[in-house]
Structure 1
Amino acid sequence: MAESRHSVFRQFAASDWRGFLKGVEKEGLRVDRNGFIAQTPHPEALGSTLTHPRITTDYSEALLELITPVCSSTGEMLESLRNIHRFVQQNLGDEVFWAASMPCELDGDASIPIAEYGSSNIGRLKHVYRQGLAVRYGRMMQSIAGAHYNLSLPDSFWQTWQAALGNGQSLKDFKSDEYFWLIRNFRRRSWLLMLLFGASPALDASFVAGVNHDLSRFDNRTWYGESATSLRMGDLGYHNNAQASLNICFNELSTYTQTLDRAIHTPWPAYETIGTRRGDEFIQINTSVLQIENEYYSAVRPKRTTEREEKPIQALETRGVEYIEVRCLDLDPFSPVGVNQSQIDFLDLFLLDCLLTDSPRIGDAECERLDDNYKDVVAKGRNRELTLCRGGTRVPVGEAAAEVFDQLEPLADLLDSWNGGETYRSALAAQRRKLPENASWPVPSSEVVEAMQQSGLGHRDWVMEQSRQHQQVLREEGLDADVLAAFRTMTTESLAEQKAMEDAENQPFGDFLEQYLKS
């Protein structure tokens, strides 16, 4: 019998382990003093959303996205994220940075301004893509925010790991295969992350105005799922019928890129009816199931940094997988930066174990079971009677979680013995405490509902109070002079770079788009 991957890893010397490389992309709405989505343009003091390396927008002009650099420790990453927040908070005036994943008060699609990126062709492409999301799915879904966690391992690890496994592939192909090995196990266990970190059990009534749903009334302005962990990741969140037909295969890089590419080139009748233009205005990039790769919603993605005008599929096929993007994380409304240290350290442990555990290919039947487990925890994960399908049998969700924790414990011990300290044992213990045997589970989704009940406030007003408290803390902390100067330089340089791109533009957008689609 072949030696297990865990056994091979335990034979590493402490000096063979170089730790994780990590970063986070954190979204959040700008809202006015009354808790309504901001109607103002992106603050000029925050620079160009097209070219700024740390601060941009996601779907809406009001939906900020803050991006850390690649960091080598959780502490470094969180300090970087906190500095970006401090700078943003200094430049919001009387607006507030919304602390929750489910949005503030809205007034239909028209109240959600689509992000603008200037007059360059790249900037216009980003805007047209978002117009396409609006005509396909409506703007309401696009007002939801989350945190994306990016993780990779350094080449020094991959070289040692490849030699230990006796693998003779090129390093590029080996890394891609290993990242997909990790992804397959992530899909088997991603339900656990929704239980531990789902934090969007409630929403403002304006989000579901005129929509049929099965939520319960909290007060006259708030609906909630009585056992839900994450409305953001449920049917009211990132969900659409066209994508349900995609059957994107996560077994290996070639099948993943092929199925994505097919979706980008497969016409969808409803989108063909809409067309790509409304008069002279471009309203979507194409009429296929997907306009571009980023339109595909999934809990995890294999990623490769792209060059300007390069498509994600091209980057992956040419240079292989560079890192994993975990996309299912709700914002932590109790944290001023939306994530917390024990969560990140646990994710590192969880993802490394996904790499070290046996990971056979996922067939259609297993794929369906995994999707059902994930959806069940999203919709009713706080129901202690919930059971999950595992190996053909039903297992209580708490028991299934405890088994994962037990599996992670030896790995936490090993990493802490190499690094010194209690980082991973502490992170694991923090998650175990969320599932006590004889009490209600203090998972974030429960804590949100309890905090609203104790305050007597509905979703909008409770989140607004949290957001103001975070703003006060971050503004009082301020920034060191050199850090502040660096952010101001990024603002100036990003605005200048966007202007230079626009001044140099001489190709009609229609010609640019045609060339882009053919590339």
Structure 2
Amino acid sequence: MIPNMSEALSWLEKHHTILHGIVRGIERETLRIDTHGNLVNTPFPSSIGSSLTHPWITTDFAESMLEFITPANASIDYTLTFLSDLHRYASGQIGDELMWPLSMPCFVNHEQDIQLAQYGTSNEGRLKTVYRQGLKNRYGAMMQTISGVHYNFSLPLAFWQARDGIRNAEEGKDVISEGYFRLIRNYYRFGWVIPYLFGASPSMCSCFIKNPEKLQSFLELTENTGYLPYATSLRLSDLGYTNDAQRSLGITFNRLDTYVEGIKRATKTKSETFSQLGIKQKGIYQQLNDNILQIENEFYAPIRPKRVAHANETPTDALLRGGIEYIEVRALDVNPFSPIGITEEQVRFIDLFLIWCTLAQAPEMSAPELECLKRNWNRVVMEGRKPNQVIGFGCDSHFEPLSKVGHALFKDLLRVADVLDRNNHNHAYREVCLRLDTLFDHPELTLSGKMLKAIKELGTEGFGLSLAKQYKQQLLAEPLQLLTTTDFNKQRIRSLNKLEMIESQNNMDFDEFLKQLNA
């Protein structure tokens, strides 16, 4: 079952004020589509600014794939209002186009229809596009258009000072990093609760399923779409956003030095498979290099340790310099029942769960155990709502009913909720706990359960398109609440000026630039 948390929770209840100042940030991805539900290939709107340099609105893999980014902030209301304003503004800048409200992409006839994100003529911009060309050649463009929501989370310094006796962040960077790795290990052991509750991709386009045997297990929804009756998040399954080449890396989350060493090794080790692609064909780059990872960000994981990097600093160099600053949770599907892809209820739950993961004991985790836990996750994302579903623990044969483990976890989370509510003088976290706890007995009320009911009635395309049109009207009708049109105009001008400056300073041949980067 779950670790005994009595002592840790009692300590937290005595030190409740140390949770003041939790900092959050949200990144939400979405595809731009036309009014018929087809992927568009129009450029990133110049009325927004430059996708290379805009701090709030950019593109991800494809030119049609918007990404909204909120700044880090300690207020849930501020963060969600900021995210809503980004959606409101963008809705007015994309003309008649809509934003696809599901994680799994709308129907795409051919992968060639997916245009890679373009970032201008600078070496920095070309680097980002060539990196995406490498992703396309390595894993396929369809997989890269799967959208998600990333949740960035950091605990206040007061938490670490009270728990571990450190004086400041620089002095205690190793202790803080150790604490965040404890969080990550518990996330791998128990984080399947996130796709169980909030998974929202029980169906997918049949074009994603290359294995005929796996295709046979799907029930046909429409000519192009299949579903699994108990699936929660096919986005997180082996059929969704995965990277088989990385399974042999053996990267673990026990110590910062070994984690960084594993990532760096993968960026310097050639891959036999990717070497066959070639780096250039007829003078055109097919990938940045033929290593297992082109760059460090190619490492796929449902959760990652992060630190804001300085200029020309890699993510792992930033971690070595200052330790872990925050955690990026990457297991959230886009919530189709929210115009911004995430709700306050989800934010509050993730807060509770990540605090619990930080407090709970977490023995070191070997690479084989990590693979066992990934299979546990796969059981939930493929059949999480199956009656009498069970959850495994580690690599042994011990299993417990998913509902039993879920209820036990929520007993602990309720105590964490009361601590946070005591600080905020309300019952918001407790109410979230009490409602979500019931979903273990009523899986049809989870996001995937509700979505499955809807797509059986409307089809995936009909469901997604009707929501996209509804949200477009809603967002256009709502006034900006936190930001102003002047704020967006200033960011547009700043981003375009910054792009012009970067491109004007482009005094090195791209081949030489890439050679130095790979060296």
CA deviation map 1:221-260 (0-9, x unaligned): 3211111101111122112321121221111211111111
Change (3 A) 1:22 1:265: same
Residue matched to 2:234: 231
Residue 185 of structure 2 aligns with an amino acid whose one-letter code is R
SS in 1 for 2:47: helix
Which consecutive segments of 4 or more residues in structure 1 shift more than 6 A?
Answer: 166-169
Q: Which residue of the other structure, out of 39, 42, 45, is the alignment partner of 2:41?
A: 39
- Is the CA contact 2:55–2:69 (under 8 Å) kept in the aligned structure 1? yes
Q: Which residue of the other structure, out of 395, 400, 416, is the alignment partner of 1:411?
A: 416
In structure 2, how many angstroms separate the alpha carbons of the residues matched to 1:421 and 1:480? 24
Change (3 A) 1:115 1:398: same
In structure 1, how many angstroms separate the alpha carbons of the residues matched to 2:41 and 2:168? 55
Residue 326 of structure 1 aligns with an amino acid whose one-letter code is V
Change (3 A) 1:440 1:360: closer
Change (3 A) 1:91 1:269: same
1:103-118 aligned at under 5 Å gives the runs 103-118=105-120
Residue matched to 1:148: 150
- Is the CA contact 1:105–1:207 (under 8 Å) kept in the aligned structure 2? no
Q: Which residue of the other structure, out of 62, 66, 90, is the alignment partner of 2:92?
A: 90
In structure 2, how many angstroms separate the alpha carbons of the residues matched to 1:464 and 1:207? 20
Q: Which moved more, 1:124-133 or 1:17-26?
A: 17-26
**Deviation of 1:13 (Å):** 5.2
Residue matched to 2:256: 253
Residue 405 of structure 2 aligns with an amino acid whose one-letter code is A
In structure 2, how many angstroms separate the alpha carbons of the residues matched to 1:304 and 1:134? 27
- Is the CA contact 1:29–1:103 (under 8 Å) kept in the aligned structure 2? yes
Change (3 A) 1:209 1:269: closer
In structure 1, how many angstroms separate the alpha carbons of the residues matched to 2:169 and 2:273? 47
Residue 143 of structure 1 aligns with an amino acid whose one-letter code is T
Q: Which moved more, 1:404-413 or 1:194-203?
A: 404-413
1:189-200 aligned at under 5 Å gives the runs 189-200=190-201
**Deviation of 1:371 (Å):** 1.4
1:127-146 aligned at under 5 Å gives the runs 127-146=129-148
In structure 1, how many angstroms separate the alpha carbons of the residues matched to 2:162 and 2:27? 29
- Is the CA contact 1:342–1:430 (under 8 Å) kept in the aligned structure 2? no
Q: Does 1:492 align with 2:484?
A: no
**Deviation of 1:481 (Å):** 9.6
Q: Does 1:325 align with 2:328?
A: yes
Residue matched to 1:289: 292
In structure 1, how many angstroms separate the alpha carbons of the residues matched to 2:383 and 2:440? 15
Residue 418 of structure 2 aligns with an amino acid whose one-letter code is D
Percent identity over the alignment?
38
Q: TM-score, normalised by structure 2?
A: 0.94
Residue 492 of structure 2 aligns with an amino acid whose one-letter code is T
**Deviation of 1:5 (Å):** 3.5
**Deviation of 1:53 (Å):** 0.3
Q: Does 1:336 align with 2:335?
A: no
**Deviation of 1:49 (Å):** 0.7
In structure 2, how many angstroms separate the alpha carbons of the residues matched to 1:481 and 1:9? 34
- Is the CA contact 2:252–2:366 (under 8 Å) kept in the aligned structure 1? no
**Deviation of 1:161 (Å):** 2.9
In structure 2, how many angstroms separate the alpha carbons of the residues matched to 1:370 and 1:209? 25
SS in 2 for 1:219: coil
Change (3 A) 1:54 1:500: same
SS in 1 for 2:444: coil
In structure 1, how many angstroms separate the alpha carbons of the residues matched to 2:31 and 2:168? 46
Q: Does 1:435 align with 2:436?
A: no
- Is the CA contact 1:107–1:206 (under 8 Å) kept in the aligned structure 2? no
**Deviation of 1:403 (Å):** 1.4
Change (3 A) 1:169 1:400: same
Number of residue equivalences: 512
**Deviation of 1:6 (Å):** 3.2
Residue matched to 1:420: 425
- Is the CA contact 1:66–1:81 (under 8 Å) kept in the aligned structure 2? yes
CA deviation map 1:70-112 (0-9, x unaligned): 1112111100100000010011111100100000110121011
CA deviation map 1:173-222 (0-9, x unaligned): 12111111111111111111110110011123454589662321012232
Q: Which moved more, 1:305-314 or 1:463-472?
A: 305-314
In structure 1, how many angstroms separate the alpha carbons of the residues matched to 2:29 and 2:168? 39
Change (3 A) 1:93 1:249: same
Change (3 A) 1:451 1:41: same
Q: Does 1:464 align with 2:461?
A: no
**Deviation of 1:169 (Å):** 9.1
Q: Which residue of the other structure, out of 11, 14, 17, is the alignment partner of 1:11?
A: 14
SS in 2 for 1:45: coil
**Deviation of 1:431 (Å):** 1.1
- Is the CA contact 2:189–2:393 (under 8 Å) kept in the aligned structure 1? no
Change (3 A) 1:9 1:210: closer
Residue matched to 1:68: 70
**Deviation of 1:62 (Å):** 0.6
CA deviation map 1:341-396 (0-9, x unaligned): 01100100100010111111113453233112111001110102221113642111
CA deviation map 1:288-311 (0-9, x unaligned): 111111111111000111223321
Residue 296 of structure 1 aligns with an amino acid whose one-letter code is F
Change (3 A) 1:57 1:440: closer
Q: Does 1:369 align with 2:375?
A: no
**Deviation of 1:285 (Å):** 1.1
In structure 2, how many angstroms separate the alpha carbons of the residues matched to 1:310 and 1:113? 29
In structure 2, how many angstroms separate the alpha carbons of the residues matched to 1:244 and 1:13? 40
SS in 2 for 1:26: strand
**Deviation of 1:435 (Å):** 2.2
SS in 1 for 2:31: strand
In structure 2, how many angstroms separate the alpha carbons of the residues matched to 1:390 and 1:90? 49
Q: Which residue of the other structure, out of 53, 58, 61, is the alignment partner of 1:59?
A: 61
Residue matched to 1:397: 402
Residue 374 of structure 1 aligns with an amino acid whose one-letter code is W
Change (3 A) 1:440 1:424: closer
Residue matched to 2:507: 506
Q: TM-score, normalised by structure 1?
A: 0.94
In structure 1, how many angstroms separate the alpha carbons of the residues matched to 2:129 and 2:197? 35
- Is the CA contact 1:68–1:77 (under 8 Å) kept in the aligned structure 2? yes
Residue 173 of structure 2 aligns with an amino acid whose one-letter code is K
- Is the CA contact 2:19–2:156 (under 8 Å) kept in the aligned structure 1? no
Give the root-mean-square deviation of aligned CA atoms: 2.2
Residue matched to 1:300: 303
Residue 140 of structure 2 aligns with an amino acid whose one-letter code is G
Unaligned runs of 5+ in 2: none
- Is the CA contact 1:303–1:324 (under 8 Å) kept in the aligned structure 2? yes
In structure 2, how many angstroms separate the alpha carbons of the residues matched to 1:360 and 1:481? 44
